[in-house]
Structure 1
């Protein structure tokens, strides 16, 4: 990992602060967590509302502010923002389509050893059930900041899953290449034998898996899907049809999200599809990388899935 790697919160904070300076109707709200809003608090404390550990109240206050002309940016821990405030998210924000940006920190398994109370592998599924809700799952810190630059100030409700810790850089390991339009599928690596479609942290895992597959003589393409709703269906179908194999990898429940959307996009194409996602087993105590491996969505599991599908079980020894 690059020595300059940053967390998503560190990358997004300057974007939020700049938008507050530029847009007089933007206001920020937090629930006992100020990492995203430190600069705003220092420069314009009147543009930050602290509600304490009360996520339902957080969303209700944001909705009220949105109805009076403000455009709120809400930041809180993902498991509590999504699950504790779900009624308010649906009735107060999503149904009326209010312009509220919801930043969920620690989606997926990012809080690691803190356990299932702090894991949010269901956040994408829950937010997908809400009307009018945009959903973004950035691959790294640069991608997360790019997402915010594209949709702040908000014009509709949107949820952005942010990681809890520093993740491997995908788009700008050397600080140069821009991530590109987050609403489009970004192809990171070409390849004729298979296509790996991944979102969030699994983009880095898929990229590493593709490198490993080369040792087996397999030429594997990798593409990042950051915008899960509205989903880039046409682009995914164009990239995936006529492939020998498409594999999806996502740190989310298997019956929804990326895998389900890709399956629908490829329906009728005849393209073989493998969907790697988190299952319902109770996780062990472990760090983020260990939990990705436990649920079969890390680089080793992705490599194994591709090699087994294209070469066969007898020709590849699972190295986990």
Structure 2
């Protein structure tokens, strides 16, 4: 059975070509099938749409009125289908990513560059926040994926670790003699400490680990950015808890020095999060693949 939409597509094509036979050729149908479809539409509307003559067909007044609306509707559907194809082929669209400043700077930028070079017509929206904030934003639907500090305990989220990171402590010249030899965490906490603010996932991870060792934190400073941790340590305001992989420039140039711990803090991961209940968009899927393949 021919659907109503198919009837209007056939009607629109006949109206353009003013010929049943030409419409049939372009639609890969028989002339009889096209004629039957037009008669079916006329019966349903109880209106004659075409004048039939030996030289072809022409629209009636009623047919001309309907043609304006039907042709516009068919054109809009065609445009919509083209846009869907563009979306699937990544020739248009948007990718909304949630990420913290530090991970964005030290991890995400090369992947953004690679993706943009491959799919230059995809628009980026970058939302900054802590891991806790980004997980909430992700579940609200305002972003497609989030790149966060793990561990995360949320059954609504799919988690894909990307690379391991090591939490460590760094210090400036003032503490060089005190920290010349390996120290325990219990000894380290007697010195002035610099940590990220308590809502940070990185801070909570280290703090939770130290609690398992019976050590309670009481930082001298609590800061909002990783770069500030390094700067405060550099000018000897205390011993900063930082991510080693994101501190290499400071460490290799000697601006700060790494504390040699008797027992290292267990490594953790940075990874991608997205909702389990929602399928990733084509752009999100391709971006996740790029990160996973590098």
Under a length normalisation based on structure 2, what TM-score does the superposition of the two structures give? Answer: 0.30
Larger relative contact order, structure 1 or 2 (CA cutoff 8 Å, min sep 6): 2
Under a length normalisation based on structure 1, what TM-score does the superposition of the two structures give? Answer: 0.28
Greater fraction helix: 2
